Chain A
Amino acid sequence: MAGLATTFGSGAMTNSINEITGAEVIFVIGSNTTEAHPQIARRILEAVDNGAKLIVADPRRTELSRSAHIHLQLRPGSDIALLNAMMRVILSEGLIDDAFIEMRTENFKELRKHLLSQDIDKLAAVSGIPVSQIKKAARLYAGAQKGVICYCLGITQHICGTANVESIANLAMLTGHVEQAYTGVNPLRGQNNVQGACDMGAIPGVFPGYQPVSDPVIREKFERAWGQALPSEPGLTITDMTHRGRKNGIRAMFIMGENPVMSDPDASKVEETLKGLEFLAVSDIFLTETASLAHVVFPAASFAEKCGSVTNSERRVQLMHQAIPPIGECRSDSEIITELAGRLGYTMAYENSAEIMEEIALLTPIYGGIFHDRLETSWGLQWPCPSRDHAGTPYLHKYSFARGKGRFVPAENITPDELPDDDYPFILMTGRVYHHYHTGAMTRASDILSREVPEAVLEINSDDAREKGLRHGDMVSLRSRRGEIEVRVKPVDTISRGMLYVSFHFHESPVNRLTNPALDPVAKCPEYKVCAVNLEKA
């Protein structure tokens, strides 16, 4: 998010999902696309069938890497080293897009200086990938007319997440791979409405549509509409609340549709914070681990029981219709919020969700032309869509970047906050499996899905397993400086020695008790992807 904002001026997929099909080269980095974004993977595979070349950078041999032409099996947390090395090759071999750099970007000199100071052999050694492979990948990507980069949480969930993203943006601008169809930089959003939640200002520091709270003109616009004085200072980030809540003076919390006891790093700390609150209210469709700590639980309606819009990865705002009336006592999220606001003395009277959408359009320029009646008859509209007669925007930054000129932001490789040592000799990576969603609150209620993947599995290199005397199915206790869990092991050949991989869906093996809450200083995203652990047979 933050990384694309500083370089391009807008933190969203620059392309539409369908454009991936038309790319010549696709560079996937930090994304297990087949399992986490099957609809995107489908387009990538279609592109490959059409003759596109696929480069995958991932520490694990993922399903998608089996279809790749080049698989860069880098060390966890060495993305910047790899990207800098690729850029260094592109620079030395004269593969840069001079015209694009000249016309559309700024600060190239700095990047050039920085890259020239880098030693490619050293960078290769840091990333653990042979120089020859890096050269091959760099030439392939730079040589294409239409090059698409897709990245995901493997890039952002590091202490250097923002710098990782900036480096990706550098690579794309260096080769002129932005501002066109079938060509761009695409952060893949995990859920059907993560983009929408960010768009609506569910990040500290901005109102809906990324309008900063610090801007007095904008603040006044919202104050007039809402009849209420609004703060000019950014709010707290999640970990500021869940880890340092008491220090930050938080006495009560209202949590909607989140399960931080399972999903936030150093989860024991989160539980401690929530238990220490004077009052906790949780709204969710199931009684999650977090909800069971609450003083009051609001039963929320599921997607099928309510009407409203969601905004997906490609900035597409889509309308979802109510299929069935709410079951039992449950209410839609908007009803819960407006009712609650009313009891607290602030009246929020909306006839329906269409009226809420009208208010969004009124106050949010990028949503300015998006109304329910327009969504009703289409597959949705992609923002920016500033007015009713605007058809929406399939790809961003056409003719110029959102911030004017694209800015190169050079970065040094930053090693992960916690590296393996004698006490904790393994690197633990976390991620998802195809059959489960987030903390399993929904998917584990499905009999077939829980039969498919009934429990967490710790992937370990088979040589490491042999050395440790571990066999498929053995239970191990996995320890980090923050906690300990039990989990079943599966020796595999798809990860390198010294690495471990486990999914975070299962409360029986709550892996986020182990993960490191160290944050990216800009985006405040925790380093879920790397922490040091040790294991022994349970």
Chain B
Amino acid sequence: MKKNILKKDHVRPFLRKLARDSRLIAPVRTSHRDLLYQEIESIDSAEIDLSEQPQESAKQFLFPQQEQLFTYQNTSKGFTFSPRKSGMPTVLFGLRSCDISAILYMDVIFLRSPRDHYYLEKRRDTIIIGIGCNEPWDNCFCNATRTGPFLEIGFDLQLTDLGDRFYVESGRAVGDEILEKWPQFFSPVTEEDEKLRYQLMLEARSGFKRHVHVETAFQKIADNSVSPSVWEHIAKRCDGCGGCAYICPTCTCFTIFDRPLSPHTGERLRTWDACTHDGFTRMAGGHNPVNPATDRLKRRFMHKLYYDYKQFKRPGCVGCGRCVGICFGGVDIAMFVDMVCAEKRDQRQSAAVIGDLLVEAGLITRKQLSEALEKRDRTGMPLGSVLMEMGIVTKEDIANCLADKVERL
């Protein structure tokens, strides 16, 4: 794929060309000094700022917070449903590696069968121009999720900030087309540019301030060694506000509802939803299969760190760190991973062995074991004593079980 140099002075003229036939989205410093991805209405007056991670991801441009699916009209002869056309050519400029990785994740969710029509309409004509991160921010951990600070694939063009100029590499045919269409802005890469870029990438990788051991957490979840006290702590701190899901670039859950516009017309909308909301799984009539908050939080973190890992060999988290800043209770995903990794292993494992032996021997059920483990974590009593106190096994049962095990060895 092609590599070029783009002088910073030429960025604005280049964007002007790109914006001629497309909607242009870029990180903009607002009048209140926020940094947000925004649609650029005027290239000359917008303060496009590539110096930091924007406060929100670019999720909303492909999967808006609220989106009309169709309008309905009700007559005596029946219904008319008119779907909304929502696609238009779009250039997403200045996206961070985490935000591009999140789009690749959304592609998998929305474009596997059956495809999400509304996402597809917008995604299909979207060009992605990313920028690698020379310097990770305080809460970033994309090194742990393997989604940055620079990407190998997923972008049409990727920029690297070399000071007064950008190193530009293309990742797909579309990127090549762009470079070929406006050659006047680009010059060849020198050996010095290559060296500098390599150096910057190395420095970026070693510049992470947080070390979030996502893969260790996955292993520990897979080994079933997250103690109930971790879930308890998190649930106690969660207000169910949904902030983590709304800010998360990979959270794609939504709900659908109708909004009447007149007695005979209305629209069907979808909006972002959050699995930490109590009403997310509550059914008509009031029964809720995912309750209480411990179950909801478990479901949230397991989805990102375990099920997605199993399915895609990567977590459903791109390490952007935005949930760290948003949570009122301080129970973001990085904190969860830290908590899981900090747990002592040894004692848990020996307990797990006794527990498993008893299950294998058919003396207790899995459910009884998990109840007992929970109680053990709550009371600090050894597992065997807990099981005896619960009246499920006797001392002899445990002794026999261990003896069998020794014999087999």
Same complex: yes
Residues of A in contact with B (beta carbons under 8 Å apart): 34-35, 38-39, 41-42, 45-46, 49, 63, 66-67, 321, 434, 447-448, 451-452, 473
In the complex, identify which listed stretch (B82-90, B161-169, B271-279) lies at the interface while the others stay far away: B271-279
Interface residues of B in 28-43 (CB under 8 A from A): 31-32
A452 and B279 in contact, given A38-B241, A434-B239, A434-B240 (Cβ under 8 angstroms) = yes
Q: How far is the CA of A354 from the CA of B329 in the complex (A)?
A: 37
- Please indicate the chain A residues that have their CB under 8 angstroms from the CB of B242 in the complex: 448
Contact A447 B257 (CB under 8 A): yes
A45 and B273 in contact, given A434-B240, A451-B279 (Cβ under 8 angstroms) = no
- Please indicate the chain B residues that have their CB under 8 angstroms from the CB of A63 in the complex: 236, 239
Contact B328 A66 (CB under 8 A): no
Q: Mark B321-346, 1 if CB is under 8 A from A, else 0.
A: 00000001110000000000000000
Contact A448 B273 (CB under 8 A): yes
Contact B239 A34 (CB under 8 A): yes
Q: How far is the CA of A49 from the CA of B236 in the complex (A)?
A: 13
A448 and B237 in contact, given A38-B328, A45-B329 (Cβ under 8 angstroms) = no
B236 nearest in chain A by CB position: A66
Task: Tell me, rounded to whole Å, the shortest Cβ–Cβ distance linking B184 to chain A.
Answer: 39
A64 nearest in chain B by CB position: B236
In the complex, whether B80 has a CB less than 8 A from a CB of chain A is no
Interface of A, secondary structure class, is helix
Contact B328 A42 (CB under 8 A): yes
- Please indicate the chain A residues that have their CB under 8 angstroms from the CB of B273 in the complex: 448
In the complex, whether B286 has a CB less than 8 A from a CB of chain A is yes
Q: How far is the CA of A448 from the CA of B269 in the complex (A)?
A: 12
Q: How far is the CA of A434 from the CA of B279 in the complex (A)?
A: 14
Task: Tell me, rounded to whole Å, the shortest Cβ–Cβ distance linking B267 to chain A.
Answer: 12
- Please indicate the chain A residues that have their CB under 8 angstroms from the CB of B279 in the complex: 448, 451-452
Interface residues of B in 208-255 (CB under 8 A from A): 236-237, 239-242, 255
In addition to A45-B328, A46-B330, 9 A-B residue pairs with Cβ atoms within 8 Å of each other are A34-B239, A42-B328, A45-B330, A63-B239, A67-B236, A447-B255, A447-B271, A448-B255, A452-B277
Point out the residue from A38, A67, A447 that lies within 8 Å of B239, measured CB to CB.
Answer: A38
- Please indicate the chain A residues that have their CB under 8 angstroms from the CB of B239 in the complex: 34-35, 38, 41, 63, 434
Task: Tell me, rounded to whole Å, the shortest Cβ–Cβ distance linking B325 to chain A.
Answer: 11
Contact B277 A42 (CB under 8 A): no
- Please indicate the chain A residues that have their CB under 8 angstroms from the CB of B330 in the complex: 42, 45-46, 49
- Please indicate the chain B residues that have their CB under 8 angstroms from the CB of A321 in the complex: 31-32
Contact B328 A452 (CB under 8 A): no
A66 nearest in chain B by CB position: B236
B235 nearest in chain A by CB position: A66
Q: How far is the CA of A34 from the CA of B239 in the complex (A)?
A: 7
Task: Tell me, rounded to whole Å, the shortest Cβ–Cβ distance linking A292 to chain B.
Answer: 20
Q: List 28 A-B contacts (CB under 8 A).
A: A34-B239, A34-B328, A35-B239, A38-B239, A38-B241, A38-B328, A39-B328, A41-B239, A42-B330, A45-B237, A45-B328, A46-B330, A63-B236, A63-B239, A321-B31, A434-B239, A434-B240, A434-B241, A447-B257, A448-B255, A448-B273, A448-B277, A451-B255, A451-B277, A452-B277, A452-B278, A452-B279, A473-B286
Q: How far is the CA of A46 from the CA of B237 in the complex (A)?
A: 11
Q: How far is the CA of A321 from the CA of B32 in the complex (A)?
A: 9
Q: How far is the CA of A66 from the CA of B235 in the complex (A)?
A: 11
Q: What bracket does the count of chain B residues touching chain A fall in?
A: 20 to 34
Q: How far is the CA of A226 from the CA of B199 in the complex (A)?
A: 68
Q: How far is the CA of A35 from the CA of B329 in the complex (A)?
A: 12
Q: How far is the CA of A66 from the CA of B329 in the complex (A)?
A: 13
Q: How far is the CA of A445 from the CA of B204 in the complex (A)?
A: 46
Q: How far is the CA of A35 from the CA of B239 in the complex (A)?
A: 8
B33 nearest in chain A by CB position: A377
Q: How far is the CA of A49 from the CA of B237 in the complex (A)?
A: 11
A38 nearest in chain B by CB position: B328
Q: How far is the CA of A452 from the CA of B259 in the complex (A)?
A: 17
- Please indicate the chain A residues that have their CB under 8 angstroms from the CB of B271 in the complex: 447-448
Interface residues of B in 289-321 (CB under 8 A from A): none
Q: How far is the CA of A49 from the CA of B233 in the complex (A)?
A: 12
- Please indicate the chain A residues that have their CB under 8 angstroms from the CB of B237 in the complex: 45, 67
Task: Tell me, rounded to whole Å, the shortest Cβ–Cβ distance linking A286 to chain B.
Answer: 16
B282 nearest in chain A by CB position: A451
- Please indicate the chain A residues that have their CB under 8 angstroms from the CB of B240 in the complex: 434, 452
Task: Tell me, rounded to whole Å, the shortest Cβ–Cβ distance linking A449 to chain B.
Answer: 9
- Please indicate the chain B residues that have their CB under 8 angstroms from the CB of A447 in the complex: 255, 257, 259, 271
- Please indicate the chain B residues that have their CB under 8 angstroms from the CB of A38 in the complex: 239, 241, 328
- Please indicate the chain A residues that have their CB under 8 angstroms from the CB of B32 in the complex: 321
Task: Tell me, rounded to whole Å, the shortest Cβ–Cβ distance linking B139 to chain A.
Answer: 15
- Please indicate the chain B residues that have their CB under 8 angstroms from the CB of A452 in the complex: 240, 277-279
Contact B328 A41 (CB under 8 A): yes
Q: How far is the CA of A34 from the CA of B255 in the complex (A)?
A: 26
Q: How far is the CA of A321 from the CA of B277 in the complex (A)?
A: 31
B255 nearest in chain A by CB position: A448
- Please indicate the chain B residues that have their CB under 8 angstroms from the CB of A42 in the complex: 328-330
- Indicate the member of B257, B277, B329 with the most A CB atoms within 10 Å: B329
B232 nearest in chain A by CB position: A66
Q: How far is the CA of A67 from the CA of B330 in the complex (A)?
A: 13
A41 nearest in chain B by CB position: B328
- Please indicate the chain B residues that have their CB under 8 angstroms from the CB of A35 in the complex: 239
Q: How far is the CA of A46 from the CA of B255 in the complex (A)?
A: 33
